[in-house]
A and B are shown apart, each in its own frame.
Chain A
Amino acid sequence: MSSEQDFTTNLIASLYKIAEEKVIAKGEFLIREGEVERNLYFIETGAVRAFYLSEFDEQTIRLGYAGSFINSLASFIKGTPSEFYIEAIRKTRIKSITRESFLSIVNENEESRQQYIRLLELLVTQLIDREIDLLTFSPVERLNRVLQRSPHLFQQIPLKYIASYLRMKPETLSRIRNS
């Protein structure tokens, strides 16, 4: 097992000891723009989306489903107001831990700190992948890239949010999938 997986496994184990469990109804928010993110969430069941609200639409920037961690990351790290909303798109059961508890897991010993660094490195490469997604001109290619990373996306998330994540109209996504 790679060391970032070790860390994640540890983190989940600790979560089950100390985390607070919450059920969020469809349409409710884990966090809204302007609030400061104090928690990290682990999704047990259900699905959420993080989106950026512009003058004209809601742009889905990240999707979370059973087994994923999610929060408004920049706000969580810097303590600045969140630029994003995170909304439950189905009834969702989460475990949440505070930044303080999270950091105490990270700083438990030298090994966990090293594992955390591996996890951050993995996260950086994932963000670069996402950046390339957004720069990819062809809608078909954009979809293929995402399906390679998350083959079960369509089983978890309604099509309209996947379309927004891929920066295309729902009609375009349907057409591509069916061809």
Chain B
Amino acid sequence: MKTEANKLIEDLLQMTESSGNAARKFKQLEIDQLNFKRSNEEWSILECIEHLNLYGDFYLPEIEKRILESNKKEKSLIFRSGILGNYFANLMKVENGKITKMKAPKDKNPANSKLSVTTIDRFLKQQEMLKSLLVQAKNTDLVKTKTAISLTKFIRLRLGDTFRFLIYHTERHIFQAQRVLQ
């Protein structure tokens, strides 16, 4: 994937905004609806959101640290995906209203944890932090700045791909959460 760096940031900001709006709508539901599970194996709305919070717990501090450490003087205007980064990001994408099913890693599985409406509030705070990181990233090189990933210590992704992965992943589970009550 190749695109203008600032265009990518703007697109991601917009997606983050709409994920936040979707989560704010969930706040109007009753707690029983938020905890409703279609089956034991499927997640409730709050479990979907908490899953995203667990990813945020890892990625937001990691991204913030790498942006702060990055060299602000050089910045390429074009963003080009890495092969792996592009693969991971696209794997998360919602395509034509469909998502491929996957199994969450154990440490990111929220099933049966204690969840309440603060789960959504925490998600909204994380989305605000993410937006502020995206804005800061306008002055950061999205290719040369690299971040760790939660899956393995052996790979580092380009910041632009990490943002894409994280934000597509959020969109994916918001999409899943919106279908719980349908």
Contact = CB atoms under 8 A, between A and B. Distances in A.
Contact of B117 (A32, A56, A58): A32
A56 B118 contact: no
Contacts of B60: 55-56
Interface in B31-61: 56-57, 60-61
A85 B121 CA distance: 11
A150 interface: no
Contacts of B116: 27
A55 B121 contact: no
Nearest to A58: B118
Nearest to B130: A55
B118 A55 contact: no
A38 to B, nearest CB: 20
Interface in B101-132: 116-118, 121-122, 125-126, 129
Interface in B55-99: 56-57, 60-61
Q: Give the bracket for the number of chain A residues in contact with chain B.
A: under 10
Contacts of B129: 55
Contacts of B56: 55-56
Contacts of B125: 53-55
A102 to B, nearest CB: 28
B118 A85 contact: yes
B121 A53 contact: yes
B53 to A, nearest CB: 9
A56 B118 CA distance: 11
A115 to B, nearest CB: 37
Contact of B126 (A27, A55, A58, A85): A55
17 contacts: A27-B116, A32-B117, A32-B121, A33-B121, A53-B121, A53-B122, A53-B125, A54-B125, A55-B56, A55-B125, A55-B126, A55-B129, A56-B56, A56-B57, A56-B60, A56-B61, A56-B122
